[in-house]
Chains A and B, each alone.
Chain A
Amino acid sequence: MYLLEVKNVKKVYTTRMGGNTVQALSNVSFSVEKGEMLAIMGESGSGKTTLLNILASLDKPTGGDVLLNGKSILSISEKEISAFRRDNLGFVFQDFNLLDTFSIQDNIFLPLVLAGKTYDQMNQRLNPIAKRLQITDILSKYPYEISGGQKQRTAVARALITQPQLILADEPTGSLDSRSSDELLKLFTEINQDGQTILMVTHSVKAASHAKRVLFIKDGEVYHQIYKGNATNEQMYQKIADTLTLIATGGVRDA
Chain B
Amino acid sequence: MRKFFYVKLAVNNIKKNSQAYIPYILTCIGTIIMFYNMCFLATAEGLGVVSDHGSLRFVMVLGAIVIGIFSVIFLFYTNSFLIKKRKKEFGLFNILGMEKKHIARIMLWETVIVTMVSLVTGIFGGILLSKLMILLLFKIIAIDVPFGFEVPREAVLITVALFAGIFILNLIYNRLSVRLSKPIELLKGSNVGEKEPKTKVLQTIIGLLCLGAGYYIALTTESPLEALTLFFVAVVLVMIGTYSLFTAGSVALLKILRKNKRYYYKPKNFISVSSMIYRMKQNATGLANICILSTAVIIMLSSTVSLYIGMEDVLRTRYPRNIIVSSVSVTEEKVEQFDKYINDTTDSMGIEQIDVMNYRSLTLMASQTQNTFKISTDASGISGSTLLFFISVDDYNRLSNTNYTLEEDEALLYEFRAIVPGDVLDFNGLELRIKKRIPSFDLDGYMSAMLVNSCYVVVKDIPTISTIQKALEQEKQMQQLLSYFYGFDVQEDRDVQMSLTTQLRSNLNKEELQCSVDGMEISRASFYSLYGGLFYLGIFLGLLFIMATVLIIYYKQIAEGYDDKERFEIMQKVGMSRDEVKKSIKNQVIKVFFLPLVTAVIHIAFAFKVITKLLTVLNLTNVPLFAVCTLATILVFAAFYTLVYSLTAKVYYRIVS
Interface residues of A (CB under 8 A from B): 56, 58, 78-79, 81-83, 85-86, 91, 93, 97-102, 106, 109-111, 113-119, 122, 142, 144, 158
- B240-276: contact bitstring with A at CB < 8 Å (1 yes, 0 no)? 0000000000000000000001100111001000110
- Contact present for A82 and B274 (CB under 8 Å): no
- Contact present for A106 and B270 (CB under 8 Å): yes
Q: Using A113-B267, A144-B195 as known contacts, say yes or no to A119 and B575 having CB atoms under 8 A apart.
A: no
Closest CB in chain B relative to A88 CB, distance in Å? 10
- Contact present for B574 and A81 (CB under 8 Å): no
Counting residue pairs across A and B whose Cβ atoms lie within 8 Å, the total is 66
Nearest B residue (CB) for A86: B575
B570 within 8 A of A: yes
Q: Using A119-B261, A119-B262, A144-B194 as known contacts, say yes or no to A101 and B278 having CB atoms under 8 A apart.
A: yes
- Contact present for A91 and B573 (CB under 8 Å): yes
By the criterion of a CB under 8 Å from any partner CB, how many residues of chain B are at the interface?
24
- Contact present for A113 and B567 (CB under 8 Å): no
Complex: A114 Cα to B570 Cα, angstroms: 13
25 A-B pairs (CB sep. < 8 Å): A56-B573, A81-B577, A82-B572, A82-B575, A83-B575, A85-B575, A86-B574, A97-B574, A99-B274, A99-B571, A100-B194, A100-B278, A101-B274, A106-B274, A109-B265, A109-B270, A110-B571, A110-B574, A111-B574, A114-B574, A114-B575, A115-B575, A119-B261, A142-B196, A144-B195
Find chain A residues with CB under 8 A from B570 CB.
Answer: 97-99
Closest CB in chain A relative to B418 CB, distance in Å? 60
- Contact present for A91 and B270 (CB under 8 Å): no
7 residue pairs, one from A and one from B, having the closest CB atoms: A86-B575, A82-B577, A97-B570, A119-B261, A113-B270, A101-B274, A119-B265
Find chain B residues with CB under 8 A from A115 CB.
Answer: 575
Complex: A97 Cα to B569 Cα, angstroms: 9
Closest CB in chain A relative to B37 CB, distance in Å? 45
Find chain B residues with CB under 8 A from A122 CB.
Answer: 265
- Contact present for B274 and A102 (CB under 8 Å): yes
Closest CB in chain B relative to A65 CB, distance in Å? 22
- Contact present for A91 and B574 (CB under 8 Å): yes
Closest CB in chain A relative to B546 CB, distance in Å? 32
- Contact present for A158 and B574 (CB under 8 Å): yes
Find chain A residues with CB under 8 A from B275 CB.
Answer: 101
- Contact present for B274 and A97 (CB under 8 Å): no
Find chain B residues with CB under 8 A from A113 CB.
Answer: 265-267, 270
Nearest B residue (CB) for A98: B570
Closest CB in chain B relative to A203 CB, distance in Å? 21
Find chain B residues with CB under 8 A from A99 CB.
Answer: 274, 567, 570-571
Complex: A97 Cα to B266 Cα, angstroms: 21
Find chain A residues with CB under 8 A from B632 CB.
Answer: none
Nearest B residue (CB) for A106: B274
- B558-592: contact bitstring with A at CB < 8 Å (1 yes, 0 no)? 00000000010111111111001000000000000
Find chain B residues with CB under 8 A from A117 CB.
Answer: 265
B25 within 8 A of A: no
Nearest B residue (CB) for A56: B573
Known interface pairs A56-B573, A100-B194, A113-B270; 13 further A-B residue pairs with C-beta atoms within 8 A, sorted by A's residue number: A81-B577, A97-B574, A101-B278, A101-B567, A102-B274, A106-B270, A111-B574, A114-B575, A119-B261, A122-B265, A142-B196, A144-B194, A144-B195
Find chain A residues with CB under 8 A from B278 CB.
Answer: 100-101
Other-chain contact of B577, A79, A101, A144 (Cβ < 8 Å): A79
B277 within 8 A of A: yes
Complex: A116 Cα to B275 Cα, angstroms: 19
Nearest B residue (CB) for A53: B573
Find chain A residues with CB under 8 A from B274 CB.
Answer: 99, 101-102, 106
Find chain A residues with CB under 8 A from B576 CB.
Answer: 82, 114
Other-chain contact of A116, B267, B569, B574 (Cβ < 8 Å): B267
Nearest B residue (CB) for A168: B573
Other-chain contact of A58, B196, B270, B571, B573 (Cβ < 8 Å): B573
Complex: A158 Cα to B571 Cα, angstroms: 12
Find chain A residues with CB under 8 A from B265 CB.
Answer: 109, 113, 117-119, 122
Closest CB in chain A relative to B220 CB, distance in Å? 42
- B507-525: contact bitstring with A at CB < 8 Å (1 yes, 0 no)? 0000000000000000000
Closest CB in chain B relative to A109 CB, distance in Å? 7
Closest CB in chain A relative to B428 CB, distance in Å? 74
- Contact present for A93 and B573 (CB under 8 Å): yes
Closest CB in chain A relative to B97 CB, distance in Å? 26
Find chain B residues with CB under 8 A from A86 CB.
Answer: 574-575
Find chain B residues with CB under 8 A from A82 CB.
Answer: 572, 575-577, 580
- Contact present for B575 and A111 (CB under 8 Å): yes
Closest CB in chain B relative to A39 CB, distance in Å? 21
Complex: A85 Cα to B196 Cα, angstroms: 30
Closest CB in chain B relative to A76 CB, distance in Å? 12
Nearest A residue (CB) for B273: A101
Complex: A114 Cα to B271 Cα, angstroms: 9
Complex: A122 Cα to B333 Cα, angstroms: 99
Closest CB in chain B relative to A107 CB, distance in Å? 9
Closest CB in chain B relative to A159 CB, distance in Å? 9
Find chain A residues with CB under 8 A from B262 CB.
Answer: 119
Find chain A residues with CB under 8 A from B569 CB.
Answer: 97
Complex: A115 Cα to B573 Cα, angstroms: 14
Complex: A117 Cα to B261 Cα, angstroms: 12
Nearest A residue (CB) for B265: A119
Find chain B residues with CB under 8 A from A100 CB.
Answer: 194, 278
Find chain A residues with CB under 8 A from B261 CB.
Answer: 119
Find chain B residues with CB under 8 A from A116 CB.
Answer: 267
Find chain A residues with CB under 8 A from B195 CB.
Answer: 142, 144
Q: Using A82-B576, A119-B261 as known contacts, say yes or no to A101 and B267 having CB atoms under 8 A apart.
A: no
Q: Using A101-B275, A118-B265, A119-B262 as known contacts, say yes or no to A58 and B572 having CB atoms under 8 A apart.
A: yes
Closest CB in chain B relative to A190 CB, distance in Å? 23
Nearest B residue (CB) for A118: B265
Complex: A97 Cα to B227 Cα, angstroms: 56
Complex: A97 Cα to B576 Cα, angstroms: 14
Closest CB in chain B relative to A54 CB, distance in Å? 14
Complex: A116 Cα to B580 Cα, angstroms: 14
Complex: A25 Cα to B570 Cα, angstroms: 25
Find chain A residues with CB under 8 A from B572 CB.
Answer: 58, 82
B183-225 at interface with A (beta carbon < 8 Å): 194-196
Complex: A84 Cα to B196 Cα, angstroms: 32
Complex: A218 Cα to B569 Cα, angstroms: 28
Complex: A109 Cα to B267 Cα, angstroms: 11
Find chain B residues with CB under 8 A from A98 CB.
Answer: 570
